[in-house]
Amino acid sequence: MDTELDPSARPPLLVLRGIVKQFPGCLANDHVDLQIGEGEIHALLGENGAGKSTLVKIIYGVMKPDAGSFTWRGETRTVASPAQARALGIGMVFQHFSLFEALTVSENIALGLNDPKDRENLPARIVDISTRYGLPLDPTRAVHDLSVGERQRIEIVRCLLQNPKLLIMDEPTSVLTPQEVHKLFATLRRLASEGCSILYISHKLEEIRALCEAATIMRLGKVVAHCIPAEKTARELAELMISAKLKEQSFSHKTISTAAPRLVLDRLTVRSNQQFGTDLKDISFAVAPGEILGIAGIAGNGQSELMDALSGEIPAGTPRNIMLDGAPIGHEGPRARRRRGCCFLPEERNGHGAVGPMTLAENGFLSAHVRGALDRLGLINRKRTQEFAAQVIKTFDVRTTGPRAEARSLSGGNLQKFLVGREVLQQPGVLMISQPTWGVDAGAAAAIYEALAQLAAAGTAIVLISQDLDEILLLCDRIAVIAAGKLSPPIPVREATIETIGLLMGGDHTAEEKHAVPA
Protein backbone atom coordinates (compact mmCIF):
# COMPACT_ATOMS: atom_id res chain seq x y z
CA MET A 1 0.00 0.00 0.00
CA ASP A 2 1.03 3.59 -0.57
CA THR A 3 0.52 6.30 2.08
CA GLU A 4 -2.07 4.98 4.55
CA LEU A 5 -4.81 7.41 5.48
CA ASP A 6 -5.65 7.98 9.13
CA PRO A 7 -9.04 6.27 9.58
CA SER A 8 -9.80 8.45 12.60
CA ALA A 9 -9.40 11.70 10.67
CA ARG A 10 -13.19 12.04 10.26
CA PRO A 11 -16.15 10.05 11.55
CA PRO A 12 -16.84 7.41 8.89
CA LEU A 13 -20.01 7.87 6.85
CA LEU A 14 -19.61 4.77 4.72
CA VAL A 15 -17.43 1.73 5.39
CA LEU A 16 -17.22 -1.18 2.95
CA ARG A 17 -15.38 -4.31 4.05
CA GLY A 18 -14.45 -7.30 1.90
CA ILE A 19 -16.76 -6.50 -1.01
CA VAL A 20 -16.75 -9.30 -3.59
CA LYS A 21 -18.58 -9.29 -6.92
CA GLN A 22 -17.96 -11.96 -9.52
CA PHE A 23 -19.24 -12.32 -13.08
CA PRO A 24 -18.61 -15.30 -15.37
CA GLY A 25 -14.87 -15.29 -16.02
CA CYS A 26 -14.29 -12.02 -14.17
CA LEU A 27 -13.73 -11.14 -10.50
CA ALA A 28 -14.79 -7.49 -10.71
CA ASN A 29 -14.39 -6.69 -6.99
CA ASP A 30 -11.93 -8.78 -4.99
CA HIS A 31 -12.40 -8.15 -1.23
CA VAL A 32 -12.55 -4.38 -1.62
CA ASP A 33 -12.35 -2.10 1.43
CA LEU A 34 -13.44 1.55 1.20
CA GLN A 35 -13.99 4.17 3.89
CA ILE A 36 -15.41 7.66 3.29
CA GLY A 37 -15.52 10.24 6.07
CA GLU A 38 -18.33 12.72 6.63
CA GLY A 39 -17.83 15.86 4.56
CA GLU A 40 -14.89 14.29 2.72
CA ILE A 41 -14.21 14.57 -1.02
CA HIS A 42 -12.82 11.13 -1.84
CA ALA A 43 -11.47 10.03 -5.22
CA LEU A 44 -11.89 6.51 -6.63
CA LEU A 45 -9.19 5.89 -9.23
CA GLY A 46 -8.25 3.05 -11.53
CA GLU A 47 -7.82 1.90 -15.11
CA ASN A 48 -10.74 0.77 -17.23
CA GLY A 49 -11.75 -2.62 -15.89
CA ALA A 50 -10.30 -1.93 -12.42
CA GLY A 51 -13.71 -2.47 -10.77
CA LYS A 52 -14.72 1.14 -10.02
CA SER A 53 -18.07 1.04 -11.83
CA THR A 54 -19.05 -2.23 -10.20
CA LEU A 55 -18.21 -0.86 -6.75
CA VAL A 56 -20.25 2.34 -7.10
CA LYS A 57 -23.18 0.35 -8.51
CA ILE A 58 -23.07 -1.74 -5.35
CA ILE A 59 -23.02 1.40 -3.20
CA TYR A 60 -25.99 2.83 -5.15
CA GLY A 61 -27.98 -0.42 -4.99
CA VAL A 62 -27.84 -1.23 -8.70
CA MET A 63 -25.93 -4.45 -7.95
CA LYS A 64 -25.83 -6.77 -4.97
CA PRO A 65 -22.40 -7.93 -3.71
CA ASP A 66 -21.63 -11.64 -3.43
CA ALA A 67 -19.87 -11.06 -0.11
CA GLY A 68 -18.81 -8.27 2.22
CA SER A 69 -20.36 -5.73 4.58
CA PHE A 70 -21.91 -2.28 4.03
CA THR A 71 -21.85 -0.02 7.09
CA TRP A 72 -23.65 3.33 6.98
CA ARG A 73 -23.12 5.69 9.91
CA GLY A 74 -22.06 2.81 12.12
CA GLU A 75 -24.96 0.51 11.22
CA THR A 76 -24.73 -2.54 8.96
CA ARG A 77 -27.13 -2.13 6.07
CA THR A 78 -28.31 -3.93 2.94
CA VAL A 79 -28.97 -1.70 -0.07
CA ALA A 80 -31.04 -3.66 -2.58
CA SER A 81 -32.08 -0.89 -4.95
CA PRO A 82 -31.35 2.73 -5.92
CA ALA A 83 -34.56 3.73 -4.14
CA GLN A 84 -33.16 2.30 -0.89
CA ALA A 85 -29.85 4.06 -1.51
CA ARG A 86 -31.63 7.39 -2.01
CA ALA A 87 -33.66 6.79 1.15
CA LEU A 88 -30.37 6.45 3.08
CA GLY A 89 -29.11 9.69 1.54
CA ILE A 90 -26.98 8.40 -1.34
CA GLY A 91 -27.27 10.23 -4.65
CA MET A 92 -25.48 9.57 -7.92
CA VAL A 93 -24.78 11.71 -10.99
CA PHE A 94 -23.98 9.35 -13.86
CA GLN A 95 -21.55 10.15 -16.67
CA HIS A 96 -24.34 9.71 -19.23
CA PHE A 97 -27.39 11.75 -18.33
CA SER A 98 -30.83 10.14 -18.05
CA LEU A 99 -32.96 13.03 -19.29
CA PHE A 100 -35.93 13.33 -21.65
CA GLU A 101 -35.14 16.13 -24.08
CA ALA A 102 -38.77 16.96 -24.90
CA LEU A 103 -39.65 17.52 -21.23
CA THR A 104 -38.93 20.57 -19.08
CA VAL A 105 -36.35 20.82 -16.32
CA SER A 106 -39.07 20.50 -13.68
CA GLU A 107 -40.69 17.48 -15.35
CA ASN A 108 -37.35 15.66 -15.63
CA ILE A 109 -36.53 16.28 -11.99
CA ALA A 110 -40.00 15.14 -10.90
CA LEU A 111 -39.43 11.78 -12.63
CA GLY A 112 -36.52 11.06 -10.27
CA LEU A 113 -38.42 11.82 -7.04
CA ASN A 114 -40.10 8.82 -5.43
CA ASP A 115 -42.11 10.53 -2.71
CA PRO A 116 -45.10 12.60 -3.95
CA LYS A 117 -44.36 15.08 -1.14
CA ASP A 118 -41.02 15.82 -2.78
CA ARG A 119 -42.87 17.06 -5.87
CA GLU A 120 -44.85 19.70 -3.96
CA ASN A 121 -43.97 23.27 -4.98
CA LEU A 122 -41.18 21.76 -7.07
CA PRO A 123 -40.44 24.66 -9.47
CA ALA A 124 -39.87 27.09 -6.58
CA ARG A 125 -37.66 24.56 -4.77
CA ILE A 126 -35.61 24.02 -7.94
CA VAL A 127 -35.00 27.75 -8.25
CA ASP A 128 -34.12 28.03 -4.56
CA ILE A 129 -31.64 25.16 -4.33
CA SER A 130 -30.07 25.75 -7.75
CA THR A 131 -29.46 29.40 -6.90
CA ARG A 132 -28.16 28.60 -3.42
CA TYR A 133 -25.49 26.27 -4.80
CA GLY A 134 -24.52 28.34 -7.83
CA LEU A 135 -26.24 26.03 -10.35
CA PRO A 136 -28.96 28.32 -11.77
CA LEU A 137 -31.80 26.57 -13.62
CA ASP A 138 -35.08 27.72 -15.15
CA PRO A 139 -37.57 24.93 -14.29
CA THR A 140 -39.81 25.82 -17.26
CA ARG A 141 -37.19 25.39 -20.02
CA ALA A 142 -37.18 22.29 -22.23
CA VAL A 143 -34.08 20.15 -21.90
CA HIS A 144 -33.34 20.18 -25.65
CA ASP A 145 -32.75 23.95 -25.40
CA LEU A 146 -30.07 23.58 -22.70
CA SER A 147 -26.30 23.31 -22.96
CA VAL A 148 -24.63 20.13 -21.74
CA GLY A 149 -23.40 21.96 -18.65
CA GLU A 150 -26.96 23.01 -17.81
CA ARG A 151 -28.14 19.43 -18.28
CA GLN A 152 -25.59 18.26 -15.76
CA ARG A 153 -26.97 20.82 -13.31
CA ILE A 154 -30.36 19.10 -13.59
CA GLU A 155 -28.87 15.81 -12.45
CA ILE A 156 -27.03 17.47 -9.56
CA VAL A 157 -30.04 19.52 -8.43
CA ARG A 158 -32.23 16.41 -8.58
CA CYS A 159 -29.83 14.80 -6.10
CA LEU A 160 -29.60 17.91 -3.90
CA LEU A 161 -33.38 18.10 -3.58
CA GLN A 162 -33.17 14.81 -1.69
CA ASN A 163 -30.64 16.22 0.80
CA PRO A 164 -27.92 13.62 0.13
CA LYS A 165 -25.29 12.64 2.67
CA LEU A 166 -23.14 11.02 -0.03
CA LEU A 167 -22.99 12.23 -3.63
CA ILE A 168 -21.32 9.94 -6.19
CA MET A 169 -20.05 11.69 -9.33
CA ASP A 170 -18.83 9.75 -12.37
CA GLU A 171 -16.59 11.74 -14.79
CA PRO A 172 -18.52 14.95 -14.04
CA THR A 173 -16.28 17.41 -15.90
CA SER A 174 -16.02 15.63 -19.24
CA VAL A 175 -18.80 17.84 -20.66
CA LEU A 176 -17.85 21.17 -19.06
CA THR A 177 -15.86 24.25 -20.06
CA PRO A 178 -12.96 25.22 -17.77
CA GLN A 179 -15.12 28.00 -16.35
CA GLU A 180 -17.94 25.53 -15.61
CA VAL A 181 -15.45 23.16 -13.96
CA HIS A 182 -14.37 25.98 -11.65
CA LYS A 183 -18.02 26.63 -10.67
CA LEU A 184 -18.69 22.92 -10.13
CA PHE A 185 -15.69 22.58 -7.82
CA ALA A 186 -16.90 25.56 -5.80
CA THR A 187 -20.29 23.84 -5.44
CA LEU A 188 -18.74 20.52 -4.38
CA ARG A 189 -16.49 22.21 -1.82
CA ARG A 190 -19.49 24.02 -0.37
CA LEU A 191 -21.45 20.76 -0.14
CA ALA A 192 -18.52 19.13 1.64
CA SER A 193 -18.26 22.05 4.08
CA GLU A 194 -21.94 21.46 4.93
CA GLY A 195 -21.26 17.80 5.72
CA CYS A 196 -22.08 16.08 2.40
CA SER A 197 -19.45 13.53 1.35
CA ILE A 198 -18.42 13.27 -2.30
CA LEU A 199 -17.16 10.10 -4.02
CA TYR A 200 -15.48 11.42 -7.17
CA ILE A 201 -14.51 9.29 -10.19
CA SER A 202 -12.41 10.84 -12.94
CA HIS A 203 -9.53 10.11 -15.31
CA LYS A 204 -8.45 13.77 -15.09
CA LEU A 205 -5.74 13.47 -12.49
CA GLU A 206 -4.94 17.17 -12.13
CA GLU A 207 -8.57 17.68 -11.15
CA ILE A 208 -8.25 14.92 -8.56
CA ARG A 209 -5.18 16.64 -7.12
CA ALA A 210 -6.95 20.01 -6.96
CA LEU A 211 -10.26 18.81 -5.50
CA CYS A 212 -9.96 15.58 -3.53
CA GLU A 213 -8.67 15.13 0.02
CA ALA A 214 -8.20 11.36 -0.19
CA ALA A 215 -8.00 8.70 -2.87
CA THR A 216 -8.54 4.96 -3.09
CA ILE A 217 -6.80 3.36 -6.07
CA MET A 218 -8.00 0.10 -7.62
CA ARG A 219 -6.36 -2.28 -10.05
CA LEU A 220 -7.76 -5.56 -11.40
CA GLY A 221 -10.61 -5.53 -8.90
CA LYS A 222 -8.45 -4.92 -5.82
CA VAL A 223 -7.59 -1.86 -3.75
CA VAL A 224 -3.87 -1.35 -4.27
CA ALA A 225 -3.21 2.02 -2.64
CA HIS A 226 -4.57 4.89 -0.56
CA CYS A 227 -3.07 8.34 -0.83
CA ILE A 228 -3.58 12.06 -0.42
CA PRO A 229 -3.76 13.29 -4.06
CA ALA A 230 -2.24 16.72 -3.36
CA GLU A 231 0.93 14.98 -2.17
CA LYS A 232 1.34 13.17 -5.51
CA THR A 233 1.96 14.36 -9.05
CA ALA A 234 -0.52 13.38 -11.74
CA ARG A 235 2.19 11.12 -13.16
CA GLU A 236 2.65 9.35 -9.82
CA LEU A 237 -1.11 8.80 -9.52
CA ALA A 238 -1.21 7.31 -13.02
CA GLU A 239 1.70 5.00 -12.24
CA LEU A 240 -0.06 3.78 -9.09
CA MET A 241 -3.11 2.99 -11.23
CA ILE A 242 -1.24 0.97 -13.84
CA SER A 243 1.61 -0.39 -11.67
CA ALA A 244 4.17 0.69 -14.25
CA LYS A 245 6.31 3.66 -15.16
CA LEU A 246 4.85 5.98 -17.77
CA LYS A 247 7.12 7.03 -20.61
CA GLU A 248 7.81 10.76 -20.72
CA GLN A 249 5.67 12.31 -23.46
CA SER A 250 6.46 15.65 -25.02
CA PHE A 251 5.08 16.59 -28.42
CA SER A 252 6.50 19.55 -30.32
CA HIS A 253 3.92 21.88 -31.86
CA LYS A 254 4.71 22.60 -35.49
CA THR A 255 4.41 26.04 -37.04
CA ILE A 256 1.67 26.61 -39.60
CA SER A 257 2.67 24.63 -42.69
CA THR A 258 3.06 26.28 -46.09
CA ALA A 259 2.51 22.94 -47.87
CA ALA A 260 -0.64 22.44 -49.91
CA PRO A 261 -3.39 21.27 -47.56
CA ARG A 262 -4.61 17.70 -47.85
CA LEU A 263 -8.08 18.45 -46.49
CA VAL A 264 -10.06 21.67 -47.02
CA LEU A 265 -13.55 22.50 -45.77
CA ASP A 266 -15.04 25.58 -47.44
CA ARG A 267 -18.21 27.06 -45.92
CA LEU A 268 -19.65 23.64 -45.10
CA THR A 269 -23.30 23.98 -44.06
CA VAL A 270 -25.19 20.84 -43.07
CA ARG A 271 -28.57 20.21 -41.46
CA SER A 272 -28.45 17.72 -38.59
CA ASN A 273 -30.23 14.41 -39.17
CA GLN A 274 -31.03 14.19 -35.45
CA GLN A 275 -34.24 15.61 -33.95
CA PHE A 276 -32.37 17.67 -31.39
CA GLY A 277 -29.08 17.84 -33.25
CA THR A 278 -27.04 20.91 -34.19
CA ASP A 279 -26.85 22.27 -37.72
CA LEU A 280 -23.39 23.18 -39.06
CA LYS A 281 -23.02 26.74 -40.34
CA ASP A 282 -20.23 27.85 -42.71
CA ILE A 283 -17.49 25.57 -41.36
CA SER A 284 -14.12 26.35 -42.94
CA PHE A 285 -10.62 25.05 -42.20
CA ALA A 286 -7.63 23.44 -43.89
CA VAL A 287 -5.24 20.76 -42.65
CA ALA A 288 -1.73 20.33 -44.04
CA PRO A 289 0.31 17.11 -44.27
CA GLY A 290 1.79 16.26 -40.87
CA GLU A 291 -0.49 18.69 -39.02
CA ILE A 292 -2.89 17.84 -36.18
CA LEU A 293 -5.84 20.24 -36.05
CA GLY A 294 -7.75 20.07 -32.78
CA ILE A 295 -11.45 20.91 -32.63
CA ALA A 296 -12.55 21.61 -29.07
CA GLY A 297 -16.06 22.12 -27.76
CA ILE A 298 -18.70 20.97 -25.35
CA ALA A 299 -20.67 17.89 -26.43
CA GLY A 300 -23.77 18.63 -28.49
CA ASN A 301 -22.42 21.64 -30.37
CA GLY A 302 -22.14 19.95 -33.76
CA GLN A 303 -19.22 17.56 -33.25
CA SER A 304 -21.16 14.44 -34.29
CA GLU A 305 -22.57 16.23 -37.35
CA LEU A 306 -19.09 17.41 -38.33
CA MET A 307 -17.70 13.89 -37.97
CA ASP A 308 -20.56 12.50 -40.08
CA ALA A 309 -19.87 15.11 -42.77
CA LEU A 310 -16.13 14.35 -42.75
CA SER A 311 -16.70 10.60 -43.01
CA GLY A 312 -19.36 10.88 -45.72
CA GLU A 313 -22.26 9.61 -43.62
CA ILE A 314 -23.98 12.97 -44.22
CA PRO A 315 -23.44 14.49 -47.69
CA ALA A 316 -22.22 18.07 -47.92
CA GLY A 317 -24.27 20.73 -49.69
CA THR A 318 -21.98 20.66 -52.74
CA PRO A 319 -19.04 18.42 -53.67
CA ARG A 320 -16.61 21.35 -53.33
CA ASN A 321 -17.55 22.01 -49.71
CA ILE A 322 -15.02 19.26 -48.85
CA MET A 323 -11.82 18.91 -50.87
CA LEU A 324 -9.33 16.06 -50.45
CA ASP A 325 -5.98 16.50 -52.18
CA GLY A 326 -7.66 18.92 -54.56
CA ALA A 327 -10.59 16.61 -55.43
CA PRO A 328 -14.19 17.52 -54.48
CA ILE A 329 -15.55 14.73 -52.26
CA GLY A 330 -18.54 16.38 -50.55
CA HIS A 331 -21.01 13.93 -52.11
CA GLU A 332 -18.87 10.79 -51.81
CA GLY A 333 -19.67 8.12 -49.25
CA PRO A 334 -17.36 6.56 -46.63
CA ARG A 335 -16.06 3.74 -48.86
CA ALA A 336 -15.11 6.12 -51.69
CA ARG A 337 -13.32 8.41 -49.23
CA ARG A 338 -11.40 5.48 -47.78
CA ARG A 339 -10.22 4.57 -51.27
CA ARG A 340 -8.85 8.12 -51.57
CA GLY A 341 -6.81 7.69 -48.38
CA CYS A 342 -9.16 8.80 -45.57
CA CYS A 343 -9.70 6.92 -42.34
CA PHE A 344 -12.08 7.88 -39.56
CA LEU A 345 -13.07 6.80 -36.08
CA PRO A 346 -16.34 8.08 -34.56
CA GLU A 347 -16.93 8.97 -30.92
CA GLU A 348 -19.30 6.08 -30.17
CA ARG A 349 -17.15 2.97 -30.20
CA ASN A 350 -19.97 0.52 -29.43
CA GLY A 351 -22.31 0.07 -32.37
CA HIS A 352 -20.73 2.79 -34.53
CA GLY A 353 -17.00 2.17 -34.33
CA ALA A 354 -17.39 -1.56 -33.66
CA VAL A 355 -20.06 -4.26 -33.79
CA GLY A 356 -20.10 -5.95 -30.39
CA PRO A 357 -21.04 -9.54 -31.37
CA MET A 358 -18.47 -9.58 -34.19
CA THR A 359 -14.91 -10.76 -33.60
CA LEU A 360 -11.98 -8.35 -33.62
CA ALA A 361 -10.89 -9.79 -36.98
CA GLU A 362 -14.34 -9.11 -38.44
CA ASN A 363 -14.35 -5.60 -36.99
CA GLY A 364 -10.94 -5.01 -38.50
CA PHE A 365 -12.26 -6.09 -41.89
CA LEU A 366 -15.21 -3.67 -41.71
CA SER A 367 -13.03 -0.58 -42.17
CA ALA A 368 -9.68 -1.94 -43.37
CA HIS A 369 -10.72 -4.19 -46.24
CA VAL A 370 -10.30 -1.35 -48.74
CA ARG A 371 -6.87 -0.04 -47.76
CA GLY A 372 -5.66 -3.29 -46.19
CA ALA A 373 -6.57 -5.49 -49.20
CA LEU A 374 -8.40 -7.90 -46.91
CA ASP A 375 -10.71 -9.20 -49.61
CA ARG A 376 -10.08 -11.06 -52.86
CA LEU A 377 -12.51 -11.30 -55.74
CA GLY A 378 -15.30 -10.07 -53.51
CA LEU A 379 -14.65 -12.63 -50.76
CA ILE A 380 -13.06 -12.15 -47.33
CA ASN A 381 -9.42 -13.19 -47.24
CA ARG A 382 -9.65 -14.74 -43.79
CA LYS A 383 -5.93 -15.37 -43.39
CA ARG A 384 -5.00 -11.75 -44.11
CA THR A 385 -7.89 -10.50 -41.97
CA GLN A 386 -6.75 -12.57 -38.98
CA GLU A 387 -3.17 -11.39 -39.50
CA PHE A 388 -4.24 -7.75 -39.65
CA ALA A 389 -6.21 -8.02 -36.40
CA ALA A 390 -3.29 -9.83 -34.73
CA GLN A 391 -0.95 -7.02 -35.83
CA VAL A 392 -3.26 -4.39 -34.29
CA ILE A 393 -3.47 -6.39 -31.06
CA LYS A 394 0.31 -6.76 -30.83
CA THR A 395 1.24 -3.20 -31.86
CA PHE A 396 -1.25 -1.53 -29.52
CA ASP A 397 -1.00 -4.01 -26.60
CA VAL A 398 -4.72 -4.83 -26.71
CA ARG A 399 -5.54 -7.08 -23.74
CA THR A 400 -7.64 -9.84 -25.29
CA THR A 401 -7.57 -13.55 -26.05
CA GLY A 402 -6.89 -12.94 -29.75
CA PRO A 403 -8.41 -11.95 -33.11
CA ARG A 404 -11.37 -14.29 -32.60
CA ALA A 405 -12.50 -12.55 -29.39
CA GLU A 406 -15.77 -10.67 -29.69
CA ALA A 407 -15.48 -6.88 -29.52
CA ARG A 408 -17.99 -6.73 -26.65
CA SER A 409 -15.70 -8.90 -24.50
CA LEU A 410 -13.07 -6.13 -24.29
CA SER A 411 -12.94 -3.36 -21.71
CA GLY A 412 -13.65 0.12 -23.04
CA GLY A 413 -10.00 1.12 -23.04
CA ASN A 414 -8.83 -2.03 -24.85
CA LEU A 415 -11.56 -1.76 -27.47
CA GLN A 416 -10.61 1.87 -28.07
CA LYS A 417 -6.95 0.88 -28.52
CA PHE A 418 -7.98 -1.73 -31.07
CA LEU A 419 -10.15 0.70 -33.03
CA VAL A 420 -7.49 3.41 -33.06
CA GLY A 421 -4.91 0.82 -34.15
CA ARG A 422 -7.23 -0.46 -36.88
CA GLU A 423 -7.26 3.01 -38.46
CA VAL A 424 -3.64 3.98 -37.76
CA LEU A 425 -2.15 0.80 -39.28
CA GLN A 426 -3.88 1.61 -42.57
CA GLN A 427 -1.43 4.54 -42.89
CA PRO A 428 -4.10 7.02 -44.02
CA GLY A 429 -3.33 10.26 -45.81
CA VAL A 430 -6.01 11.96 -43.71
CA LEU A 431 -7.36 10.75 -40.35
CA MET A 432 -10.51 12.13 -38.71
CA ILE A 433 -10.89 10.94 -35.13
CA SER A 434 -13.40 11.91 -32.45
CA GLN A 435 -12.83 11.60 -28.68
CA PRO A 436 -9.82 9.26 -29.08
CA THR A 437 -9.35 8.66 -25.33
CA TRP A 438 -12.93 8.99 -24.06
CA GLY A 439 -13.17 6.96 -20.84
CA VAL A 440 -9.66 5.58 -21.38
CA ASP A 441 -7.11 5.25 -18.59
CA ALA A 442 -3.70 6.95 -18.52
CA GLY A 443 -1.73 4.02 -19.91
CA ALA A 444 -4.04 3.47 -22.90
CA ALA A 445 -4.24 7.22 -23.55
CA ALA A 446 -0.44 7.49 -23.67
CA ALA A 447 -0.29 4.69 -26.26
CA ILE A 448 -2.95 6.39 -28.40
CA TYR A 449 -1.19 9.77 -28.20
CA GLU A 450 2.10 8.22 -29.28
CA ALA A 451 0.44 6.51 -32.25
CA LEU A 452 -1.22 9.72 -33.44
CA ALA A 453 2.01 11.70 -33.10
CA GLN A 454 3.94 9.11 -35.11
CA LEU A 455 1.25 9.11 -37.80
CA ALA A 456 1.46 12.90 -38.12
CA ALA A 457 5.26 12.71 -38.26
CA ALA A 458 4.88 10.38 -41.25
CA GLY A 459 2.85 13.03 -43.08
CA THR A 460 -0.78 12.24 -42.24
CA ALA A 461 -3.13 15.20 -41.83
CA ILE A 462 -5.20 14.65 -38.68
CA VAL A 463 -8.46 16.24 -37.50
CA LEU A 464 -8.88 15.51 -33.78
CA ILE A 465 -12.28 16.31 -32.26
CA SER A 466 -12.17 16.25 -28.47
CA GLN A 467 -13.81 17.62 -25.34
CA ASP A 468 -10.55 17.15 -23.44
CA LEU A 469 -8.65 20.43 -23.61
CA ASP A 470 -5.53 18.95 -22.05
CA GLU A 471 -5.46 16.38 -24.83
CA ILE A 472 -5.78 19.01 -27.55
CA LEU A 473 -3.16 21.30 -26.03
CA LEU A 474 -0.75 18.36 -25.71
CA LEU A 475 -1.13 16.91 -29.19
CA CYS A 476 -2.36 19.51 -31.64
CA ASP A 477 -0.57 22.16 -33.68
CA ARG A 478 -3.62 24.39 -34.10
CA ILE A 479 -6.96 24.57 -32.33
CA ALA A 480 -10.45 25.72 -33.30
CA VAL A 481 -13.57 25.71 -31.15
CA ILE A 482 -17.03 24.57 -32.25
CA ALA A 483 -20.03 26.14 -30.50
CA ALA A 484 -23.66 26.05 -31.66
CA GLY A 485 -22.58 24.62 -35.02
CA LYS A 486 -20.10 27.42 -35.79
CA LEU A 487 -16.32 27.05 -35.83
CA SER A 488 -13.89 29.69 -34.62
CA PRO A 489 -10.84 30.46 -36.77
CA PRO A 490 -8.01 28.01 -35.97
CA ILE A 491 -5.13 29.47 -33.95
CA PRO A 492 -1.70 28.01 -33.11
CA VAL A 493 -1.83 26.03 -29.87
CA ARG A 494 1.16 27.93 -28.46
CA GLU A 495 -0.97 31.12 -28.62
CA ALA A 496 -4.04 29.56 -26.99
CA THR A 497 -4.93 29.94 -23.33
CA ILE A 498 -7.30 27.84 -21.25
CA GLU A 499 -9.35 30.94 -20.43
CA THR A 500 -9.78 32.02 -24.06
CA ILE A 501 -10.65 28.53 -25.27
CA GLY A 502 -13.10 28.11 -22.40
CA LEU A 503 -14.86 31.35 -23.35
CA LEU A 504 -15.10 30.23 -26.97
CA MET A 505 -16.52 26.88 -25.85
CA GLY A 506 -19.22 28.83 -24.03
CA GLY A 507 -20.04 30.81 -27.17
CA ASP A 508 -18.21 34.06 -26.31
CA HIS A 509 -17.38 35.53 -29.73
CA THR A 510 -15.43 38.46 -28.30
CA ALA A 511 -12.67 35.96 -27.47
CA GLU A 512 -12.82 34.74 -31.07
CA GLU A 513 -12.35 38.26 -32.45
CA LYS A 514 -9.22 38.82 -30.35
CA HIS A 515 -7.51 35.75 -31.77
CA ALA A 516 -8.86 35.61 -35.31
CA VAL A 517 -6.21 34.48 -37.81
CA PRO A 518 -6.56 33.12 -41.35
CA ALA A 519 -7.49 29.42 -41.55
Domain layout of the chain by residue ranges: 12-242, 263-514
Phi first, then psi, for residue 253 (nearest 5°) are -90, 120
pLDDT exceeds 80 at position 58: yes
Question: pLDDT grade, residue 44 (50/70/90)?
Answer: very high
pLDDT at 479: 95
Question: pLDDT grade, residue 255 (50/70/90)?
Answer: low
CATH number for the segment(s) 263-514 = 3.40.50.300
Average pLDDT (234-241) is 88
d(Cα 375, Cα 384) in Å, to the nearest integer?
A: 8
pLDDT exceeds 70 at position 251: no
Q: State the fold for domain 12-242.
A: Rossmann fold (3.40.50)
Q: What is the pLDDT of residues 10-42, one digit of tens each?
A: 689 999 999 999 988 789 999 999 999 999 999
Q: What is the pLDDT of residues 482-496, one digit of tens each?
A: 988 999 999 999 888
- Average pLDDT along the chain: 87
d(Cα 479, Cα 465) in Å, to the nearest integer?
A: 10
Is-same-fold flag (12-242; 263-514)?
Answer: yes
Average pLDDT (377-385) is 89
d(Cα 174, Cα 472) in Å, to the nearest integer?
A: 14
pTM of the model: 0.73
Q: What is the pLDDT of residues 97-108, one digit of tens each?
A: 788 989 999 999
Range in 165-169, 187-191, 350-354, 416-420 with the lowest mean pLDDT: 350-354
d(Cα 208, Cα 441) in Å, to the nearest integer?
A: 14
Average pLDDT (210-239) is 93
d(Cα 519, Cα 501) in Å, to the nearest integer?
A: 17
Question: pLDDT grade, residue 8 (50/70/90)?
Answer: very low
Q: Are residues 8 and 36 in contact, defined by beta-carbon separation less than 8 angstroms? A: no
DSSP 253-302: PPPPP-SPPSEEEEEEEE--SSTT---EEEEEEEE-TT-EEEEE--TTSS
> Which tops the pLDDT comparison, 268 or 179?
268
Q: Are residues 421 and 363 in contact, defined by beta-carbon separation less than 8 angstroms? A: no
Q: What is the pLDDT of residues 111-142, one digit of tens each?
A: 878 777 778 899 999 999 988 888 889 999 99
What is the distance, to the nearest Å, from the Cα of residue 91 to the centroid of all Cα atoms in its chain? 21
* Spatial CB neighbours of 120, under 8 Å, sequence gap ≥ 6: none
